[in-house]
Amino acid sequence: MILDYLTYVAIAVIVIIFIFLASAIRILREYERGVVFMLGRFTGAKGPGLIILIPIVQQMVKVEEPQAMQLRYFAALHDIAGDQSSTVVFPLPVNLLDHLGPRSAS
């Protein structure tokens, strides 16, 4: 009787642990990027591959291609600014450069 009860408890614990571990794993494809938040605060950006999160504490939001480009840009700016150097970065829209180049004869 007690052995049957312990067996059911052990199976329940194993199922709960399996669900907990399964919810901690995320997979991002080659074209996807993810933003990781810990308790609602930005902690970093992740690239493609296997991502392991702490359930309930960490949350990841997937971003698609246009936002992924901006995310890579801001990650690069964050790395440059984190070097404690006197580098100043001025973001410049690419569309602005189109008007500065030579015009084609049409």
For residue range 64-78, list pLDDT tens digits in order. 766 666 777 777 777
- State how far the Cα of 70 lies from the Cα of 77, in Å rounded to an integer: 10
Q: Is 59 helix (H, G, I), strand (E, B) or coil?
A: strand
In a domain? residue 55: yes
Residue 105 pLDDT more than 60? no
Indicate the number of domains in the chain: 1
Q: By residue range, what is the domain housing residue 70?
A: 2-82
Average pLDDT for 74-100: 67
In a domain? residue 96: no
